[in-house]
Amino acid sequence: MAEIDLKSTSQAQLRSGCPLWGRTGQRPVFRPLDDHLKVDVLVIGGGVTGALMGQHFTERGLLVAIVDREQPGLGSTAASTAMLQWEIDKTLAELEQFYGYERAAGIYRRSAAAVSGLAKLIAGHRIDCAFRPGQSLFLTSNQEGARDLRTEAALRERAGLPSRYLEHCDLFTEFEIDRDAGILSRGSAEADPLLLTWALLDLAFRQYARLVDASVTTLNSEGNRVTAETDGPFLIEAKTAVLATGYTMPGIDMPKLHRATSSWAMATVPQTDGTLWRDQALIWEDSHPYLYMRTTADGRIVAGGEDDETTDPSARDAKAPEKIMAIREKMKRLWPQADTTVATAWCGTFGETVDGLPLIGPVPSLPHVYGAYGYGGNGITFSYLATQMIGAMVSGGYREWFDDFAMDRDGPGGATRELAQRDVEMVGR
Ligand SMILES: Cc1cc2nc3c(=O)[nH]c(=O)nc-3n(C[C@H](O)[C@H](O)[C@H](O)COP(=O)(O)OP(=O)(O)OC[C@H]3O[C@@H](n4cnc5c(N)ncnc54)[C@H](O)[C@@H]3O)c2cc1C
């Protein structure tokens, strides 16, 4: 069976179809190197993670290079449905089972702080990316799920999180949604991920970041510096390097915590006035496979899910018609008023971890090199969290909670990963 080689994965393998984003934006220009380059921070990857990272470090006055071997933003970022949520793929109750209440509640609070930090960043720089703060609605369609959601809502209340349990009749009267129960939460948002990425790259560029069109093939860490070999004749030397290569984890043995899956999404034609649900909350269901829905500024419904373990890009693409049909049917059952006519559809590789948490922090055995891998449905929330954590780490700051997201952490039940090598090999384009 063919599998994605994550070392050499191209954007075309990571996603296909035609996402909705970036139609009004300008893609920043990345230029090839014409000499060796010396910077404070080298960011490898120009998707949303690399863009956030680059903007963060340039704002701190550091000299930054952001390198991408293909089109910035057109990897997984362009496939994202960009629901900016603090609710993690694993519920607080599940995380409590894994790691105990205090640690689980701390993780949830940091996720909530990350969404509000991202909102402040966007507002502070007046980034034009269709950003809209809002609420999210987590639904269940059976009695057992309703009991679980009640427990979940109580745990969230104890953790000080802004969630409220809704019984069937509340859901129906407040949202006209016919499900057994739900949790309504404040503090989430939505955006156009491509406009966000390009605007952040532009901000970094204006603060003197170099936007470099190259493939980093090898990273060496020696003494106090990291040297990147590229597919051209030039080297980039940096005090710190950040891997923001998305679902391509370069040359590092894949942590056992992590696995690749596939996900499918579509956008409808704009809905006629008055046919969207109240407040256009972000909606997600606890069904297997799950369904999620959001809306766009021009009144479309974006829906996705149907994840499965397909990893081969052509098998993933071949499944698209049947997956999009399933998403449309589920959408219609949940919101019968929807016009489910497909305007555009797409699919992509998706990365998950067993505990639903990202992999952020020092790459073991490779001094001064950090990984920023925001896996799961909260990928972008976690990318922002990564900028805060790696930003602190580079300044010598350390907090005990950083270990919750460490690349070499033990997963639930002691599921460990294997990461051990000095040089990170990356395969060129
Ligand atoms: C269908 C789908 C729906 C999703 N929905 C959501 C959602 O609703 N909310 C959410 O928060 N997240 C969501 N995600 C996840 C989110 O999209 C990702 O977490 C996020 O886009 C990852 O961004 P990134 O910058 O890390 O990776 P990418 O966007 O893939 O960027 C990585 C970049 O690194 C470059 N690169 C790789 N290797 C090298 C190298 N060696 N040298 C130079 N450049 C290199 C690549 O060319 C690429 O441009 C979704 C993902 C998918 C697929």
Considering only 107-121, 190-204, 302-316, 390-404, which range has the smallest mean pLDDT?
Answer: 302-316
> Looking at the predicted structure, is the pLDDT value of residue 175 above 90?
yes
Binding site membership of 348 for ligand 1 (Cβ less than 6 Å): yes
Same domain for 316 and 335, yes or no, is yes
Residue that finishes a domain, picked among 353, 377, 399: 353
Residue nearest (by alpha carbon) to ligand 1 atom 3:
80
Dist. CA 242–CA 42, nearest whole Å = 6
> Residue 158 class from Cβ within 10 Å (0-12 exposed, 13-18 middle, 19+ buried)?
exposed
Split at pLDDT 50, 70, 90, the class of 158 is: very high
pLDDT in tens, 91-122: 999 999 999 999 999 999 999 999 999 999 99
Does 251 fall in a domain?
Answer: yes
Predicted local distance difference test score (pLDDT) of residue 429: 28
Same domain for 297 and 323, yes or no, is yes
Same domain for 137 and 266, yes or no, is yes
Same domain for 346 and 312, yes or no, is yes
Q: Which of the pair, 246 or 64, is modelled with greater confidence?
A: 64
pLDDT in tens, 201-211: 999 999 999 99
Does 315 fall in a domain?
Answer: yes
> Looking at the predicted structure, is the pLDDT value of residue 88 above 90?
yes
Residue nearest (by alpha carbon) to ligand 1 atom 19:
379
Predicted local distance difference test score (pLDDT) of residue 138: 97
Does 428 fall in a domain?
Answer: no
Residue nearest (by alpha carbon) to ligand 1 atom 51:
80
Split at pLDDT 50, 70, 90, the class of 324 is: very high
Over residues 400-411, the mean pLDDT reads 91
Same domain for 160 and 261, yes or no, is yes
Split at pLDDT 50, 70, 90, the class of 13 is: confident
Does 347 fall in a domain?
Answer: yes
Residue that finishes a domain, picked among 353, 370, 403: 353
> Looking at the predicted structure, is the pLDDT value of residue 422 above 50?
no
pLDDT in tens, 30-83: 999 999 999 999 999 999 999 999 999 999 999 999 999 999 999 999 999 999
Same domain for 332 and 362, yes or no, is no
For residue 167, report the distance from its CA to the centre of ligand 1, in Å.
Answer: 36
Same domain for 167 and 264, yes or no, is yes
What percent of the chain lies above the pLDDT cut of 90? 73
CATH number at residue 76: 3.50.50.60
Considering only 193-202, 279-288, 385-394, which range has the smallest mean pLDDT?
Answer: 279-288
Same domain for 398 and 305, yes or no, is no
> Looking at the predicted structure, is the pLDDT value of residue 353 above 80?
yes
CATH number at residue 181: 3.30.9.10
Binding site membership of 194 for ligand 1 (Cβ less than 6 Å): no
Predicted local distance difference test score (pLDDT) of residue 103: 96
Binding site membership of 244 for ligand 1 (Cβ less than 6 Å): yes
Split at pLDDT 50, 70, 90, the class of 419 is: very low
Predicted local distance difference test score (pLDDT) of residue 414: 61
Same domain for 145 and 244, yes or no, is no
Q: Do the bridges between strand 258-268 and strand 424-425 make them parallel or antiparallel, or are there none, so unpaired?
A: unpaired
Does 103 fall in a domain?
Answer: no
Binding site membership of 376 for ligand 1 (Cβ less than 6 Å): no
> Looking at the predicted structure, is the pLDDT value of residue 276 above 60?
yes
Same domain for 302 and 325, yes or no, is yes
Which atom of ligand 1 lies nearest, measured to the CA of 378? Answer: 11
Over residues 357-378, the mean pLDDT reads 89
Over residues 229-255, the mean pLDDT reads 84
| Owning domain of residue 179 | 133-187+257-353
Split at pLDDT 50, 70, 90, the class of 364 is: confident
Which atom of ligand 1 lies nearest, measured to the CA of 427? Answer: 41
> Looking at the predicted structure, is the pLDDT value of residue 309 above 50?
yes
Split at pLDDT 50, 70, 90, the class of 19 is: confident
Binding site membership of 391 for ligand 1 (Cβ less than 6 Å): no
Binding site membership of 240 for ligand 1 (Cβ less than 6 Å): no
Residue that finishes a domain, picked among 337, 353, 369: 353
Predicted local distance difference test score (pLDDT) of residue 428: 30
Predicted local distance difference test score (pLDDT) of residue 421: 34
Total structural domains within the chain: 2
For residue 78, report the distance from its CA to the centre of ligand 1, in Å.
Answer: 8
Does 112 fall in a domain?
Answer: no
Does 43 fall in a domain?
Answer: yes
Predicted local distance difference test score (pLDDT) of residue 10: 76
> Looking at the predicted structure, is the pLDDT value of residue 249 above 70?
no
Residue nearest (by alpha carbon) to ligand 1 atom 16:
379
Does 415 fall in a domain?
Answer: yes
Same domain for 30 and 154, yes or no, is no
Average pLDDT, the chain: 89
Q: Which residues of 376-400 are buried (b: 16+ CB within 10 A; e: fewer)?
A: bbbbbbbbbbbbbbbbebbeeeeee
> Looking at the predicted structure, is the pLDDT value of residue 298 above 70?
yes
Same domain for 363 and 340, yes or no, is no
Q: Which of the pair, 295 or 351, is modelled with greater confidence?
A: 295
For residue 76, report the distance from its CA to the centre of ligand 1, in Å.
Answer: 3
Split at pLDDT 50, 70, 90, the class of 418 is: very low
Residue among 55, 68, 122, 217 to mutate when testing ligand 1 (max atoms within 8 A of CB): 68
Binding site membership of 426 for ligand 1 (Cβ less than 6 Å): yes
pTM: 0.93
